[in-house]
Amino acid sequence: MAIKEITMPQLGESVTEGTIEKWLVQPGDKVNKYDSLAEVNTDKVTAEVPSSFTGVIKELIAKEGETLAVGEVVCTIETEGDASSEKSTSQDTPVEKVTAAEMPTAESKKAAAPAPVEREKGSKARYSPSVLKIAQENDIDLTLVEGSGNEGRITRKDLLALIESGNIPTAKAEQVAPKAEAAPAQTMASAKPAAAPVNVPLAVGDTEIPVTGIRKAIAANMLRSKHEAPHAWTMIEVDVTNLVQYRDSIKNEFKKKEGFNVTYFAFFVKAVSQALKEFPMMNSMWAGDKIVIKKDINISIAVATEDALYVPVIKSADEKTIKGIGREINELAGKVRAGKLKSDEMQGGTFTVNNTGSFGSIQSMGIINYPQAAILQVESIVKRPVIMDGGMIAARSMVNLCLSLDHRVLDGLVCGRFLARVKEILENMTKENTSVY
């Protein structure tokens, strides 16, 4: 018999952690390879974790509602086989097993910052990616942290307990008081106060709704985008009268022939993907010390349910016809609402187009879908009186296109030219020069 470890999978690009929303198995249950073990939420997708082995569930390491980094162990399975192959990870990449002993207790949360950890000379501490990420984001000096993991390794839970207590050891604090045992606790504490829970008074008739794992993931991703990307915003007005007339003239025949509606949104996605080919800088991402211009044009679209927002991706949108884009929009939206969207259908997006006009919005500022560089909001098409060339006033179908951009990557000049090109394409979509096939 052998004990196999199931780890938190990476369920999307830039995804570093996932939350166990619900266990689908219990210790003692027999499972087959590829059986679903748990429902997991990330900032990009809700998915099920499959078993990599056939065997019996030995232990559920992670608890429901617990967030773990990619690669951390979530459960163990007892299988028939050679015990020498128990670990599926390399010895050079140690796995942090999260056990009850590593969970932060009320006492550990209240404890003062620990003294510097004595390590043998020449020894090299090894940290998991999640530990390094948390330490960098919170200015934590890991040499001052005492780990509760195997052989004193620092775990993610150790750092979260320190952050919650407010006693964060920093490198700056060590310089002020190199002998920690003689320094008061407040000298070593970070200047950042611990985040206090929001106290919202409740009145008779008020309703409390628990925050779900996916809502927490959405909040975390939006917060990261706003904190890291300096958002700028611009808007352009487009006359889509010709497009409206063209679409209305073919919609009934198209529905009868193809079995689904051809929406205005498919035309907008096509126009944007065409313009992205001409302005590749818009199809790029910030990568710290470099900007990556993506070759493939993969359009992310926002699809809302009653309690969440999903962002499936239309791959290689520039190579698809309006009919092909329309069919994919229809299929992806159906999968979202049926709860059948797969994780790989939400990966690889390079630019987001959001159909905010579907619920009547005429002007909005979207939050960029991190790590993309921009998001375009397509607002509601509205009939308005417009002064035409020659001074004539006519009723025209007008739409606002609102662009949020990451100012680290994009400047006003390229964004203005890009929007002008999208406007030109849309205003020239007529029956004579545009085919849906």
φ, ψ (nearest 5 deg) of residue 412: -60, -35
Token duo for residue 349: 């997006």
pLDDT score for 306 = 78
In this predicted model, what pLDDT tens digit does every residue of 331-386 receive, in sequence order?
Answer: 999 998 888 888 889 889 999 999 999 989 999 999 999 899 999 999 999 999 99
Q: Please choose, from the candidates 230, 326, 336, 341, the residue with its C-alpha nearest in 3D space to the C-alpha of residue 273.
A: 326
pLDDT score for 43 = 65
Assigned CATH class of 2-98: mainly beta
pLDDT score for 399 = 98
162 or 2, which is more confident: 2
Lowest mean pLDDT among 125-134, 159-168, 218-227, 425-434: 125-134
Q: How many residues does the chain have?
A: 437
Q: In sequence order, which residues have a C-beta less than 8 Å from that of residue 149 and are 6 or more positions away? A: 96, 97, 102, 155, 158
Domain borders along the chain are: 2-98, 102-188, 215-427
77 or 156, which is more confident: 77
pLDDT score for 44 = 62
Whether 145 has a pLDDT exceeding 80, the answer reads yes
Query: Scanning the structure block, which residue is given the tokens 């942090």?
Result: 96
Q: With bands split at pLDDT 50, 70 and 90, how would you rate the model's confidence at 260?
A: very high
Mean pLDDT (whole number) for 153-170: 76
pLDDT score for 280 = 97
Mean pLDDT (whole number) for 76-92: 57
CA 6/CA 31 separation, integer angstroms = 13
pLDDT score for 143 = 81
- Beta partners for residue 41, in sequence order: 19, 46
In this predicted model, what pLDDT tens digit does every residue of 290-331 receive, in sequence order?
Answer: 999 999 999 999 888 877 788 999 999 999 999 999 999 999
129 or 334, which is more confident: 334
pLDDT score for 70 = 86
pLDDT score for 197 = 63
Q: With bands split at pLDDT 50, 70 and 90, how would you rate the model's confidence at 142?
A: confident
Q: What is the pTM of this model?
A: 0.61
CA 134/CA 56 separation, integer angstroms = 34
Active site residues: 407, 411
> Are 210 and 137 contacting, i.e. CB atoms less than 8 angstroms apart?
no
215-427: CATH topology: Chloramphenicol Acetyltransferase (3.30.559)
3-state secondary structure the chain: CEEEEEECCCCCCCCCEEEEEEECCCCCCEECCCCEEEEEECCCCEEEEECCCCEEEEEECCCCCCEEECCCEEEEEEECCCHHHCCCCCCCCCCCECCHHHCCCHHHHHCCCCCCCCCCCCCCCCCCHHHHHHHHHCCCCHHHCCCCCHHHCCCHHHHHHHHHHCCCCCHHHHHHCCCHHHCCHHHHCCCCCCCCCCCCCCCCCCCCCCCCHHHHHHHHHHHHHHHHCCEEEEEEEEECHHHHHHHHHHHHHHHHHHCCCCCHHHHHHHHHHHHHHHCHHHHEEECCCCEEECCCCCEEECEECCCCEECCEECCHHHCCHHHHHHHHHHHHHHHHHCCCCHHHHCCCCEEEECHHHHCCCCCCCCCCCCECEEEEECCCEEEEEECCCCCEEEEEEEEEEEEEECCCCCHHHHHHHHHHHHHHHHCCCCCCCCCC
102-188: CATH topology: Dihydrolipoamide Transferase (4.10.320)
Mean pLDDT (whole number) for 274-287: 96
Lowest mean pLDDT among 20-34, 365-379, 394-408: 20-34
Average pLDDT, the chain: 81
CA 136 to chain centre: 20
